Amino acid sequence: MFLTLQASHSRSAAISTRDGVGSVRFDVLITGKHLHINSQTVLAGGIGISNGRVRALIGEEDLGHYMSAAKRVIDAGENPVLPGIVDGHVHVRDPGQTHKEDFATATRAAAVGGVTTILTQPNTSPEVIDENTFHAVREIGERRAIVDFGIQARLDPNRPKASIYLAANGIASFELSTNQLEPGGLIAALALSTKLKPSLGCYCEDRALVEYAAEDAAASRLADAPAFLRSLPAEVEVGAAAHLYYMARYFGTRLTYRQVSSAATLAFLRWARAAAAGPSFAIEVNPHHLLLTADDFLRLGAVAKVKPPLRSKSDTVALWVALAAGVVDLVGTDHAPHSVDEKACGVQKAPPGFPGLETMLPVLLTGVAEGRIDLSRLIQAACEFPARWFGLYPRKGSLQLGADADLVIVAPERQVLIQPAELQTKAKSSPFKDITLYGQCLLTMVRGTVVFDDGRIQVAEGHGMFVAAEFE
């Protein structure tokens, strides 16, 4: 079977079942036995690409007729071809903190990790909070990125006109941390967000309990690492998540629960989702909370310091189960790089966070290899759902007709030993150091152009484009 797109820019394009061979021309033809068009469709055959978009899906029985129609043929063989990953949680650090990371190094890391679209977090210097800061970040990204990017902004309830402008100009989400706002500020933020289409991404910590737990940890005379864990117990997360849910339920705010790390929070959100008349929300987890535990933090110290902290083994099991069941909606890296020197100053002083763009796909493919999830759920949680939720679908998130030709070819059974010194990110420290994971990215393509292949970056800075979010 051969499908060809008749109206490439239409979301509901007309499709015919056969064209004459002579009228078909492709810039690239991807062939293989396992072409994952989306989470539900696997094709043996080919994907025809022209002008950066998917133009044809060709069944294996007809593939021979169209091999000569392509300028270049890339054969994946038995290796799965997946839609490019959409990472909805990336701290690029550019502008203002480029000693940690910048658009060039972050997007190089993304390309190596099979991530074809990143959504940048707003806590740069200055923060992305208004028209000027938005355009400053967009300009840097368009000049230096090698994969595509969207922008997320800080929601400022005291500047509603700025937020309205950002929403109208393609912001993928607004962001806030519940422990940084007074109760009145949170109410104002929720009320404003309800009038805007992008979701409100929330990092959940109960401010009063965090302050009390920090004092308790300081008085405990524990060593720095155990004291850090004691200062941020799971209760600060689930308490804030529950409080936020009821407030969002009042306003009808669309939420993204960022960085959910505990079984207790999952249990509450599972109940909340089943409750009548609740707000629409998505649940994000991070790869490090799927793989690493508090024992790793106690062993590694500052290198593995992150917020929320690494939890118990039972929490990691609960996250995997929830991801497999579809309770968890999306996986985002929370790629949060810091310099080696910053991480070397001990648990108490080191900033939280570490790089994740190059390790997310291997973590998830390790989950596939171990039978925790299947490739369908990987594609749903790392490609399709993030693209839908953040307003990038159908352009991103799948390889359906008319979509951007963003894809990754992986060797799912190949083992990869993580060595931080070999990572593309500036942050040459990682809690995944010396861990062997399954799944290697062999080739990454963004809008029909190979950006990573044969172990090397293949394009110059500036190939990446800003992708504006569009919501129904």
- Catalytic residue check, 334: yes
Secondary structure string (H, E, C) spanning the chain? CEEEECCCCCCCCCEECCCCHHHCCEEEEEEEEEEECCCCCEEEEEEEEECCEEEEEEEHHHHHHHHHHEEEEEECCCCCEEECEEEEEECCCCCCCCCCCCHHHHHHHHHHCCEEEEEECCCCCCCCCCHHHHHHHHHHHHHHCCCEEEEEEECCCCCHHHHHHHHHCCCCEEEEEHHHCCHHHHHHHHHHHHCCCCEEEEECCCHHHHHHHHHHHHHCCCCHHHHHHHHCCHHHHHHHHHHHHHHHHHHCCCEEEECCCCHHHHHHHHHHHHCCCCCCEEEEECHHHHHCCHHHHHHHHHHHCCCCCCCCHHHHHHHHHHHHHCCCCEECCCECCCCHHHHCCCCCCCCCCCCCCCCHHHHHHHHHHCCCCCHHHHHHHHHHHHHHHCCCCCCCCCCCCCCECCEEEEEEEEEEECCHHHCCCCCCCCCCCCCEEEEEEEEEEECCEEEEECCEECCCCCCCCECCCCCC
- Surface-to-core class of residue 453, CB atoms within 10 Å of its CB (0-12 exposed, 13-18 middle, 19+ buried): middle
Q: b/e map of 86-99 (b: 16 or more CB within 10 Å)?
A: bbbbbbbbbbebbe
Residue 156, amino acid: D
Distance (Å, whole) CA 448 – CA 49: 6
Q: Say which of 334, 341, 374, 454 is annotated catalytic.
A: 334
Q: Which residues contact 79 (CB under 8 A, 6 or more apart)?
A: 32, 34, 409, 410, 411, 412, 442
Residue that is written with structure tokens 């099991």 in the block: 317
**Parallel/antiparallel/unpaired status of strands 42-50 and 26-36:** antiparallel
Please give the backbone phi and psi of residue 344, each rounded to the nearest 5 degrees, phi first.
-90, 0
Any idea which residues carry the catalytic annotation?
A: 334
